Amino acid sequence: MQFFDNLNTLKVITGILDLLIVWYVLYLVINAIKGTKAIQLLKGIFFILIGRSVSDLLDLTTTTRLFDFVLEWGFLAVIVIFQPELRRALEQLGRGSLFKRNTSHLKVDKKKLTGDMVKAVQYMAKRRIGALIVIEKETGLQDYIETGIPIYASISSELLINIFIPNTPLHDGAMIIQGDKIATAASYLPLSDSSKIQKSLGTRHRAAIGLSEVSDAFTVVVSEETGAISVTYNGRLRKDVSLEVFEALLTEHWFSAHLDKKGVTDNAGN
């Protein structure tokens, strides 16, 4: 009798261990694809699974077969489409970087960040120094970050300006900001092929629009021809914005709930 009790206890322990392993593997997978477009795919998969369950519950035969077909061939499509993300996840697993915790939760000052950005953009606009600055929001930009030169430095107006000084190694391409850090410089962005874009707009504007078409990022463009300040977000381009409008849009898009979760405060003393 005691043998069977011990056997049942062992089954419970192994069952719990099995669940913990599965949840930990899922945690590692989510960490691996976090910051990439693949996270949007994960949301789509959850939607398909929920739709499959609802259609089966309501006995919607044709809809259920459609969901089954998508699930059957979707796995192969995921491997083909997201091969770079899968490769990166395996590389991170090999380096052990999947097991590292993110400890970047230091509080910073919203007013200082905004002031530094506005000061830098104003300086570059007056001197017609071309610039392309991307602020990451909810959609991860890791794919584009990996095309640039890693910086991972605190934001200051001097550093922002210095990176875009002409004829320096980092002035071409985009600077990408994650939270309150400059993640990378000289990154490549997807160019928009929209026929609605004016012919007079250059590569920086097309890259900014192109990124806004595939993500929710907020992008700042300073024209080196005119010194005009433009911004893009949600597939929309706003040209020739004033410093006041730029500052308002910057605050609206940069200091969203996504960034506030990382410990950003209105004042450094708070």
Question: CATH no. for residue 166?
Answer: 3.40.1700.10
**Co-location of 125 and 252 in the same domain:** yes
- Answer whether residue 233 is part of any domain: yes
**CA proximity to 137, closest of 102, 167, 177, 80:** 177
**Co-location of 68 and 134 in the same domain:** no
C-alpha distances in angstroms, 57 versus 8, 46, 51, 70? 34, 17, 10, 18
**CA proximity to 181, closest of 103, 239, 242, 128:** 103
**CA proximity to 194, closest of 215, 213, 175, 219:** 213
* Final residue in a domain of this structure, among 50, 77, 99: 99
**Co-location of 139 and 76 in the same domain:** no
**Co-location of 126 and 91 in the same domain:** no
**Would you state the pLDDT for residue 104?**
43
Q: How far apart are CA 85 and CA 65, in angstroms?
A: 29
* Final residue in a domain of this structure, among 99, 121, 136: 99
**Co-location of 83 and 185 in the same domain:** no
**Co-location of 151 and 194 in the same domain:** yes
Q: What is the pLDDT along the chain (270 residues), one digit of tens a residue?
A: 555 556 677 777 887 888 888 887 777 666 655 555 566 666 677 777 788 788 878 878 888 888 777 777 766 766 666 665 566 555 555 545 444 444 444 455 788 999 999 999 999 999 999 999 999 988 778 889 989 999 999 999 999 999 999 988 898 899 999 988 999 999 999 888 877 788 788 899 999 999 988 888 999 999 999 999 999 998 889 999 999 999 999 998 987 644 444 444 455 444
Question: For residue 215, what are the domain limits?
Answer: 108-265
* Final residue in a domain of this structure, among 77, 99, 121: 99
Which residues fall within 8 angstroms of residue 66, CB to CB, at 6 or more apart?
A: none
Domains: count for the chain? 2
Q: Compute the half-sphere exposure of residue 94: CA atoms within 13 Å on the CB side of its CA.
A: 6
Q: Tokens 């990382």, residue?
A: 262
- Answer whether residue 270 is part of any domain: no
